[in-house]
Amino acid sequence: MADERLRADSFLPLPEATFHILLALAEEDRHGYAIIQEVEKRTDGAVKLSAGTLYRSIQRMLEQGLIVETRERPAPELDDERRRYYRITAFGSEVARAEARRLTHLVKLARVSGFSPGRA
């Protein structure tokens, strides 16, 4: 597993859009537009992914093995034939965790220097 972790580290730092997409897929499989909505909701509207950025990221993440297109569809009444659904892979989760670790470490370093997010 050390190998897997090493390989995950090689993706860092993750592009912001990639990280957001991984987070949005953490709970359930989503299609493209749902990802955009989820990201927007989680960030209180601060991050609005554009269609181009989304699919460019998705294309690359598929190649990198961070996500897969899923064949399982939700209940037919909720499904739209045109939509593809994406699921995070185990490796994708590993990479997201690695990125979270990296960010946590950064925040720690900032605290030591007196840049606490709490205090301005």
Partner 1 sequence: MRLYNLLVHLYPAAFRNEYGEEMRAIFARRERQARGPLGALALWTSTLFEVVVNALAVHWDILRQDLRYTARALAGTPGFTLTAILVVALGVGANTAVFTVTDFVLIRPLPFSEPERLVKLYERLPGYSRMELSPVTFRDWKRMSHSFEAMGAYVSTSVNLVGQGDPERLEASSVSSEVFPLLGIQPLAGRLFNSTDDRIDSPGTVLLSYGLWQTVFGADLGVIGRKVVLDGAPLTVIGVMPRDFHFSDRSVELWTPLQVRDDDSFEDRNNNYFGVIAKLRRGVTIAQARSEMSVITAQLCRQYPKEMAQHGATVNPLHEELSESSRMLLVALSGAAICVLLIACANLASLLLARGLARKKELAVRTALGAGRERLIRQLVTESLVLAVSGGALGVLGALGSIPLLAKLVPMSLPVNQTPSVDWRVLAFAALLTFLTGIAFGVIPALRAGGSVDLGGLRDGVRAGGGRRERVRSALVIAEVMASVVLLVSSGLLMRALWRLQSRDPGFRTDGVLTMRTALPWPKYLKTAAREEFYKQVLTEIRGLPGVSNAAYISFLPMVWRGGIWPVSLDQQILDRAESNSASLRFVTSGFFAALGIPLQLGRDVDEADTSDRPFVAVVSQSFVRRYWPNENPLGRHFQFGFHDRMVVGVVGDVRVRGLERPSEPQVYLPYQQVPDGYLFPYTPKDLVVRSTTTAELLLPAIRRIVQSVDREQPISDVRMMSEVVEGETASRVLQLRILGAFAAVAILLAGIGIHGLLSFAVSQRLHEIGVRIALGASSSDVLRMVIRQGVTLAAAGVALGAIVAFAAGREMEALLAGVEPGDAATFLGAIGLCALMTLLGIVAPAVRAVLVDPIAVMRSE
Min dist. Cβ of residue 75 to partner 1 (A)? 20
Residues pairing with 86 in the sheet: 30, 69
Judged by CB, which is closer to partner 1: 64, or 93?
64
Residues in contact with partner 1 by the rule CB under 8 A: 31-33, 36, 50-56, 58-60, 82-84
| Closer of 24 and 94 to partner 1 (Cβ) | 24
Nearer to partner 1, 5 or 60 (CB): 60
Minimal distance, residue 111 CB to partner 1, in Å:
35
Question: CA 95: distance to chain centroid?
Answer: 9
Q: Return the structure tokens found at 77.
A: 């009444």
In whole angstroms, what separates CA 46 from the centre of its chain? Answer: 16
Alpha helix locations (H) across 10-116?
A: 16-24, 32-42, 51-64, 90-112
Provide, rounded to whole angstroms, the least separation between the CB of residue 24 and partner 1. 15
